[in-house]
Amino acid sequence: MDSNEQAAAEDAAPAPPRRAGIAGLGTPYRVVAALALGALAVAACSHLAFVFLHVAPANTVSRQHARTIDGWIYPEFEQNWKLFAPNPLQQNIAVEARAQVRTAGGELVTTGWRDLSAEDGAAIRHSLLPSHTEQNELRRAWDFFTGSHGEDDKPDGERGELSEEYLRRIALDRIRPEHRGGHILRIQLRSATTAVAAPPWSDEKTDTRTYYRELSWWTA
């Protein structure tokens, strides 16, 4: 076979199959793809490790790195297992506020109770992209307050004092825009707790009256 026939035979031969996936890329692109996949794998494993340490019982590692773990988990990746608890929440708790205002004319006025929780609920209802602040800010602030205070509403150390300041600021931010012409002197909060009624097929009797926990007046 002369050189012309050999060249024609090589041209007629089918081309080798093209390798699929990363193997089909050039060497520089394979290196970049491998580094990207490695970074994604490290990020995924790190995230799973943080979540595991967050939900697992307290241990030496989670206590030593608590600040780092909380910084990664909150607020986007918080794990809430109350739905699967043996005794899930069976109460609706609303946070309400009112204020004493010195009007522009010098009159001292006490406002009516304003349901801040209902306003948050109305803002996120039927929303495709509900605000994380409207979902959790007030609710978490009230949980923070009740968890750091006794039945006499006395703060348990610095965390209790911090929770009071945090809750007061949230309430003031909500109420202040309605009284731009006046000066808010004091503010008061209360919770309205109502038990969820038993389903129609249940024989359980539930007290669905609303019970209030009224806090003292706080200076604004």
pLDDT band at 97 (very low <50, low <70, confident <90, very high): very high
| pLDDT above 70 (res 7) | no
Pairwise pLDDT comparison (55 vs 85), residue with the higher score: 55
Instruction: Identify the pLDDT of residue 211.
Output: 94
Q: What is the pLDDT of residue 72?
A: 87
**Nearest CA among 218, 129, 137 for reference residue 174:** 137
What count of other Cβ atoms lies within 10 Å of the Cβ of residue 142? 21
pLDDT band at residue 23 under the 50/70/90 scheme: low
Tell me the whole-structure pTM to 2 decimals.
0.62
Query: If you compute the radius of gyration of the chain from its CA atoms, what whole number of angstroms results?
Result: 31
**Residue 9 vs residue 60, higher pLDDT:** 60
Question: 195's torsion region: left (phi>0), alpha (psi -120 to 50) or beta?
Answer: beta
Measured distance CA(212)–CA(206) in Å, rounded: 17
11 band by pLDDT with thresholds 50, 70 and 90: low
Virtual CA dihedral for 26, 32, 36, 39, nearest 10 degrees?
130
Quote the tokens at residue 67.
């600040």
Domain segments of the chain as ranges: 3-73, 84-219
CA 34 remoteness from chain centre = 34
Tokens of 177: 């825009």
As a whole number of angstroms, the distance between CA 47 and CA 41 comes to 10
Nearest alpha carbon to residue 137 among 178, 167, 92, 98:
167
Query: Quick check: 98 and 72 in contact, CB under 8 A?
Result: no
Q: For residues 93 and 77, what is the distance between their CA atoms, to the nearest angstrom?
A: 24
Q: What percent of the chain has pLDDT over 90?
A: 41
Whole-angstrom Cα distance, residue 166 to residue 206?
A: 34
Cα–Cα dist 182/101, whole Å: 6
